Structure 1
Amino acid sequence: MDGMNGLTALRVNSAEQLPWDDRCDLLVVGFGGAGACAAIEAASRGLSVLALDRFEGGGATALSGGVVYAGGGTPYQRQAGYEDTSEAMFNYLRQEVGEAVSHATLRNFCDGSREQLAWLERQGAAFEASVPPHKTSYPSDQYYLYYSGNEAVPAYAASAKPAPRGHRTKGPGMSGASLFAPLKASALRHGARLRCQCEVRRLVLDLDDKVIGVEAWQLPSGSRAARQHARLSRWAAAIHMYAPALADRLRARQRRIEQTSAIRQLIRAEQAVLLSSGGFIFNRDLVRQHAPQYLDGLPLGATGCNGSGIALGQSAGGSVTRMDKISAWRFINPPLAWARGLIVNARGQRYANEEIYGATLGHAMVEEQDGRAILVLNRELMREALRQVGPGKVWNFQRLPVLLNLLFNAKRSSSLAGLAKRCNLPPELLRQSVERYSRAARGEVADEFGKSAAMLANLDQGPWYALDLSFDSKLFPCPVITLGGLKVCEDSGRVLDHAGQPIHGLYSAGRTAVGVASNLYVSGLSLADCIYSGRRAAAHVADQFALQPARSGEQQCNV
């Protein structure tokens, strides 16, 4: 959607003014995790649902690891021998969520977590109680329940009893497709309709500023243009992580096909339009405007994460917030040996507990240290790292960057002074950082950042190695996603205007809207929020529809 930052809505005197091509009660714009869950919820409550997706559906959900953050004593936590309560989940998450949502909303999210997981199972998703023996950024196909955030890190565990809450959907490889497939099937089974390769370019508003429909553009089904568009979509998704520039050129070809071959469709939404088309990480202008320090990161998500849903909401008067919240993922485990080393900034000073979750480390790296992260290891840890990423031990996407950096990005020296010189670091400050770290590893002093004793390593013996894992590293790209978006009523999911009032007929969910995951990222929290917010919006639309015969006025939203 070119020029989306300045979209204007199509305004009409009344719905009868336009020759509508299709009608529904709830129109879902973007059929990923949030959109599919909204479609299921609305259709199961008797609403007619039509979902539109610019591609084939799935969005970032289908490309993800399929991890759903859930706790409070799920069946899989209990089977694995872990006790958990919604209170412990709340006490942990409030440290991550901050002020993104109210404590009341976060508590509601936590209290309903077990039911939400059971709801997913009723749609056909499967989970398992197998827990990996060590902390990891993403478990192998042997394991499906893990610590997916900072739960076990001492500073966090002091406020909330830790428990593994990352419920990875049962399925081979990256499990996002294994989560989305049953959601899509359930939505269609409940009667929702899906139009693919159909892009919404404008909202339609009446004289009362109520959203009454959309102007969409769809590629003719089965046409040569549609087949070519689908092929380019698959290619771009497949190569993006390895050749992002080439993937961008394929996306540009897709856009040209849409501009020349799509056919205009006017679709009436009798009750509401739900915007759930993802975040905006692929909109480089928006990233440059709101968070330019993240431009060097590797955009992570689906091609549709270009801010189109946010722009549509703004065109109807919607307000945005937390647009500067972008999550950078600097995962250094696996290999576990890397997390036992120490990370320093451009001044040779250590600034974090290296065992913290990758997004927490990435946040500190970008927001506090000008993007610098230099990992210091000794020979013992280097050898241990190589063993830990051997064949069959980790995923290829975890192994290959590690091997590339061990082979081509490791500076070696027989002295710390020599290492500092090779890395342009102040020698004395680096020496002091390593000395303090080693003293903590020997148990002589407490670690200044509260690192677990088992994760410390005595680095007295060299030779020493330094790997530059800074944000702009070409050999160790740092994935980034956006967390901000449209401001919504936390009770209903209705989009709010600049005065904090709901826009009639307009809702938003998932990463198009601000939600539980809009502060600091935790694996599985975004998907869990997509499910939660999609169902919340659909339930409110259905409840309002049920009240219509007796309703005399619009209920205000308290935010």
Structure 2
Amino acid sequence: MPDTTKPRWDDEVDLLVVGAGAGGMTAALVGALEGLEVLLCEKSDQVGGITATSGGTIWIPGTHLSVEAGVPDSTEAAARFLAAVVGERGGDAQRAAFLEAGPRVVATLKSRTAVDLVAAQAHPDYIGNQPGEAYGGRALAPTPFDGRRLGKADFARVRPPRREFLALGGMMAARNEIDALLHPFASLANFRLAAGTVLRYARDRLRYPRGTRLVMGNALVAQLLYSLRQQRVPLRFETRLVELVKEEGDVVGALVAGPEGHRRIRARRGVVLATGGIAHNRRLREQLYPEAARRYCLAPETNSGDGVETALASGAALAEGLDSPGLWMPCSILRRRDGVELMWPHIILDRAKPGLIAVNSAGRRFVNESDSYHDFVMGMLRSPEQAPDKPAHLICDRTFLEKYLLGMVFHGTRRLKPYLEAGYLIEANTPQALAGRIGVDPTTLAQTLADYNRDAERGEDPAFGRGTSAMNRFNGDPEQAPNPCVRPLGPGPYYAMAVWPADLASSAGLKGDEDGRVLDANDRPIPGLYACGNDLSSMFRGTYPGPGTTLGPAMVMAWRVVQHAAAKTGQADSRASHRTTASPLPRPS
């Protein structure tokens, strides 16, 4: 006889959200604002996922923040831009819904939560010379957040940035603060900023394991966590998704495993998957990623494709027809003497600057080095001469190292020996000698350098058009005329640094509609199953239009998911009007 004394469900909520990155946290927060009973489950012991280690930029066109910043933007212009970038690859309905909802999402978060964003006055779209492109206004950034507001316990729950990006063992710095910290005596403004930042950090370390002044992705995660605590949303850590529970084809809940063992959770309005996409899932990486891009991943190790795998097992389908299954970042790898590998993402601080070129494993240039990190790697992956088991190399002269950062080699440093001994930086007096050290044909590399230098004398790059887009020029050096991205490489010594493809996020993911409903192979929604963030296939279809075009859609689609789920059986729960409003967490004394 069946045991009728044991309840079928261990817990019952309106909305079960799995994964506490930007998408999942936004879904849980908006669900609470809509009056739903929400439970947020996170596999690891910290919130943030990929968001916490990112730059935290959020690409949402047409918001009121762009007007406040003095660079008003419109969704109509953004629609023209996306049509040009994405082309005929599909996803039109999702993008239209994203553009329509984006400004409302930002306004809601700004007015009703602790999420505080500002629009960048200058942060160009990544694909240049397109109709509707913007120079500023679309890229939103979180303002710095005081981690002490969370209290010690919750501050420890915020996943820290990559250790490579922490100064003095635990201090964060925004991009626009790096130069002041490296050159504190260059000006009075630099000294004040550097001194204030370091003194604040010194005080923090008396009580905290790292600095509490949070910026970029860490600030966004902390703002979301603080807001969740204000709304009293339950958050279960170290709780992973095991399987989805279905009844007559509908997803009605999920089986999770946590510190209390396995628990069956009923979700009356739906289950939201936001577990970080493919990330470290070996099977899906081998199925979907090109061979050269499977080795390195920038996501936390706990991101192992749980959401995508469980959805596929429940009848969901993967999206097809993408320009790329991943969004890529060129990364250099420093192997320390203790065996630890440090991975540095080459975002904008070196590749765009004049006096540097990149060559493939045949010793030839293959891309506009000043283009976005994603497009740089796409050039690498598409180069027919690039061997999948070999890196590309960034090459520069000594003048470059004196003026600019190159990976983990900070500009102006006189201590190159540790990097040379580790093999992170390679030095030679001539192009031919450098070629021998990086394993390319000496004649080819010498000719590549000669061809580049010939055109660079005039500030030109007819081969790849370097410096011809607003984004190129913005990230170049304004002191270099006539082209801020181009100058000849001078006499030796020359330096090389190996860079490998790494995925910062997956474009490939679950097929979904404009409300984040997960679809099956016949494009039919699976009732009760939603996805956002990297679990949901990219609405930009594997292209990378601008800064923050993973976080923007993640948060907007999370909002749309909740709006659809809340309306499934009519209006949101009437309990919304009876909820006890949580008082803000106390500020530190």
What TM-score do you get using the length of structure 2 for normalisation? 0.69
Q: Secondary structure at the match of 1:46?
A: coil
Among residues 234, 246, 267, which one is paired with 1:193 in the alignment?
234
Aligned to 1:440: 455
Evaluate the alpha carbon distance shift between residue 418 and residue 164 of structure 1 in structure 2; reply closer, same or farther with a 3 A threshold.
Answer: farther
Q: Secondary structure at the match of 2:569?
A: helix
Among residues 303, 326, 333, which one is paired with 2:348 in the alignment?
333
**Structure 1, gaps ≥5 residues long:** 1-14, 132-144, 221-262, 473-477, 550-559
Judge which range, 503-512 or 518-527, deviates more. 518-527
Evaluate the alpha carbon distance shift between residue 274 and residue 92 of structure 1 in structure 2; reply closer, same or farther with a 3 A threshold.
Answer: same
Evaluate the alpha carbon distance shift between residue 68 and residue 439 of structure 1 in structure 2; reply closer, same or farther with a 3 A threshold.
Answer: same
Partner Cα separation in structure 1 for residue 44 and residue 406 of structure 2: 41
Q: Residues 510-543 of structure 1, C-alpha deviation per residue, up to 9 Å, x if partnerless?
A: 1111133551345411111110111111111112
Determine if contact 1:297/1:479 at 8 Å carries over to the other structure: no
State the superposition RMSD in angstroms.
3.7
Judge which range, 419-428 or 311-320, deviates more. 419-428
Aligned to 1:126: 116
Q: Residues 123-170 of structure 1, C-alpha deviation per residue, up to 9 Å, x if partnerless?
A: 2122346x6xxxxxxxxxxxxx6526525xxx4457634336332211
Aligned to 1:365: 380
Among residues 410, 417, 430, which one is paired with 2:445 in the alignment?
430
Please state if 1:383 is matched with 2:375.
Answer: no
Determine if contact 1:339/1:355 at 8 Å carries over to the other structure: no
Please state if 1:166 is matched with 2:167.
Answer: no
Determine if contact 1:69/1:527 at 8 Å carries over to the other structure: yes
Aligned to 1:469: 498
Give the aligned residue type for 1:454: P
Determine if contact 2:53/2:218 at 8 Å carries over to the other structure: yes
Determine if contact 1:340/1:354 at 8 Å carries over to the other structure: no
Please state if 1:546 is matched with 2:535.
Answer: no
Deviation (angstroms), 1:355:
0.7
Evaluate the alpha carbon distance shift between residue 95 and residue 433 of structure 1 in structure 2; reply closer, same or farther with a 3 A threshold.
Answer: farther
Determine if contact 1:365/1:471 at 8 Å carries over to the other structure: no
Determine if contact 2:109/2:115 at 8 Å carries over to the other structure: yes
Partner Cα separation in structure 2 for residue 219 and residue 38 of structure 1: 24
Q: Residues 92-127 of structure 1, C-alpha deviation per residue, up to 9 Å, x if partnerless?
A: 444555566523432442344433333332321223
Aligned to 2:258: 218
Determine if contact 2:350/2:404 at 8 Å carries over to the other structure: yes
Please state if 1:454 is matched with 2:484.
Answer: yes
Partner Cα separation in structure 1 for residue 215 and residue 555 of structure 2: 19
Among residues 264, 267, 270, which one is paired with 2:268 in the alignment?
270
Determine if contact 1:327/1:482 at 8 Å carries over to the other structure: yes
Following superposition of structure 1 onto structure 2, how do residues 398-409 of structure 1 map, counting pairs within 5 Å?
Answer: 404=419, 408-409=423-424
Determine if contact 1:288/1:295 at 8 Å carries over to the other structure: no
Aligned to 1:71: 61
Partner Cα separation in structure 1 for residue 442 and residue 365 of structure 2: 13
Q: Residues 209-267 of structure 1, C-alpha deviation per residue, up to 9 Å, x if partnerless?
A: 111111222214xxxxxxxxxxxxxxxxxxxxxxxxxxxxxxxxxxxxxxxxxx22121
Q: Secondary structure at the match of 1:435?
A: helix
Aligned to 2:32: 43
Among residues 113, 117, 135, which one is paired with 2:106 in the alignment?
117
Partner Cα separation in structure 2 for residue 16 and residue 94 of structure 1: 58
Higher helix share: 1
Partner Cα separation in structure 1 for residue 109 and residue 63 of structure 2: 16
Deviation (angstroms), 1:430:
2.8
Give the aligned residue type for 2:19: G
Q: Secondary structure at the match of 2:568?
A: helix
Following superposition of structure 1 onto structure 2, how do residues 312-331 of structure 1 map, counting pairs within 5 Å?
Answer: 312-321=310-319, 325-330=325-330, 331=346
Evaluate the alpha carbon distance shift between residue 437 and residue 68 of structure 1 in structure 2; reply closer, same or farther with a 3 A threshold.
Answer: same
Evaluate the alpha carbon distance shift between residue 184 and residue 422 of structure 1 in structure 2; reply closer, same or farther with a 3 A threshold.
Answer: closer
Equivalent residue pairs, number: 464
Aligned to 1:205: 246
Q: Secondary structure at the match of 1:110?
A: helix
Aligned to 1:254: none
What TM-score do you get using the length of structure 1 for normalisation? 0.72
**Structure 2, gaps ≥5 residues long:** 145-212, 331-345, 468-482, 574-589
Determine if contact 2:355/2:488 at 8 Å carries over to the other structure: no
